Structure 1
Amino acid sequence: MGKEFEIEREVVLPATPEEVFAAVTTGTANWMFPTPAPEPDSPMVRNWEPPHRFTVRQDGEDGWFNALDFIISARDGGTAALRYVHSGIFTDDWDSQYDGASRHTDFYHHTLGQYLRYFGGKSAVYAEVNGPSASSFPTALESVKKSLGVAAVDETVRLELPGLAPADAVVDYLNPYFLGLRTPDAMYRVFGRNNFGGTVDVSAHLFGGNAGAERAWQSYLDGVFTA
């Protein structure tokens, strides 16, 4: 039986409301994952008020629904406040799903801020890599951190991935569940989904000069967990 949930966040972002609205509607591949461009007249789009509000809701059988509400307001200094509400119904293992969705929300919003601050106005090529089944054990993400030499947020580490030119990367996010790495032309997001019953996965937001990044990360993950 399903149970309703609501995840609410408010973040301040280093961009104008217009820039934030574009990022959460037509630019999701730059910081999250690609989603279809919304059609303002679609029944799923409940609010389309550029640049201040965007709401989308999908309804299913037996009262099931999933809704995302973005409310954007201008702040001093060319910044914007985003109030975000994700609501819906989880049907299985409510506590685990809620925990996973809540923690992913924080990581995605952090990545949105990184995109707007360091890559605003640029469009990314998006790539996604799934770790092997061997990366599903409880300490799998810690193995990745150790392999990369990651110890603390804001430090710089040298990325040397198979087949990809070495690059310095800033550790912009670090906790037991996720790792964020930012180079001058890319953001790499490492998801410790081993904490939620999955594998260690990587998404790459590539802003230029990153040919072969998807293959490099796949080779890297395979190497870490099959050695």
Structure 2
Amino acid sequence: MSKEFEIAREYEVDATPEQVWDALTTGTGGWLWPMEFDGERRVGPFGSTLTNWDPPHRLTSRSEDVGFPTQSLNQLDNTIEPRDEGRRAWVRYVHSGIFTDDWDNQYDGASKHTDFYLHTLRQYLTHFAPRPVAFTTLNGPAASQAPDAFTAVGRALGLSDDTAEGAKVTARGPGGGTLDAVVDYRNPYFIGLRTDDALIRFFGRNHWGAPVGISVHDFAADADAGRDEAAWQGWLNGVFDTP
């Protein structure tokens, strides 16, 4: 049965309103994924309509053709205000729409993903903006939908079950290599690793009936999205012994 939803968050960040606006609209994939905005034609990502385009204060995109069988309407709204004489920004983010099926599961997943995505935005603004980025995202094999799949991912990285946010770690990465990183986010559903040149995000989507996912935001001078995808896909398949 169709039912409306709303997920609202407020946060402050050590960035100007203009920097926040650029992070939301330039489409680099620096913190989420590459997106295209056309303020003149009022067209947003995935063919959405920009109902508010007021840089750097208000951004609203609305889509009634979402392309998902469990959702018929999607709206993302950002209100940005200056703080500390414009040196910092306060943001109110509201994600709303209509879920047409599996409402509780869809809402829980969207709500928890929202917190991780907004945290990643703040990490990008604080540590990497406006460096160019090579972005890739990938999913694990069918076996990564198992109830304990995300626990296996954490252990494959070399993280103990009690490794908490803020810890400096030497994580196990693709090809038997290691990564000196900070665990910038961790809960039972997500892991965020920040290196000097990358944000690497691990998504425990098995909790909502989907495969585990990884995204890599690579800011290194020689970054190559295809190389990152192949390396981390091989690593993730190896966690679940998939050729």
Counting only pairs closer than 5 Å after superposition, residues 1-227 of structure 1 correspond to structure 2 as 1-27=1-27, 29-42=29-42, 44-60=49-65, 64-76=72-84, 78-150=87-159, 151-163=163-175, 166-208=178-220, 209-211=222-224, 212-226=227-241
- Partner deviation per Cα, 1:77-113 (whole Å, 9 max, x = no partner): 7110110111100011000000000110000000000
Deviation of 1:215 (Å): 1.4
Contact 2:28 2:132 (8 Å CA) reproduced? no
Give, in whole Å, the separation in 2 of the partners of 1:28 and 1:142: 31
Deviations 1:24-45 (A, max 9, x none): 1124611111222233432611
Tell me how far 1:148 sits from its aligned partner.
1.3
Amino acid at match of 1:34: P
* Structure 1 pair 54–176 and aligned structure 2 pair: CA distance change class (3 A): same
Amino acid at match of 1:180: G
In the superposition, the TM-score normalised over structure 1's length comes to 0.93
Runs of 4+ in 1 over 6 A off after TM superposition: none
Contact 1:13/1:80 (8 A) holds in 2: yes
Deviates most, 150-159 or 83-92: 150-159
1:18 is displaced (CA, Å) by: 0.2
Q: Name the count of aligned residue pairs.
A: 226
Identity of aligned residues (%): 50
In structure 1, the gaps of 5 or more residues are none
The answer to whether the Cα contact below 8 Å between 2:134 and 2:223 also exists between their aligned partners in 1 is no
TM-score, L = length of structure 2:
0.87
Which residue type is aligned with residue 51 of structure 1? Answer: P
* Partners of 2:17 and 2:56 within 8 A in 1: yes
1:192-215: CA deviation from partner (whole Å, max 9, x where unpaired): 000010111100001014443221
Contact persistence 2:133–2:223 (CA under 8 A): no
Classify 1:175/1:14 alpha carbon distance in 2 versus 1 (closer, same or farther; 3 Å): same
* Contact in 2 for aligned 1:12/1:82 (Cα 8 Å): yes
Query: Aligned partner of 1:137: which letter?
Result: A
- What RMSD, in angstroms, separates the aligned Cα atoms of the two structures? 2.0
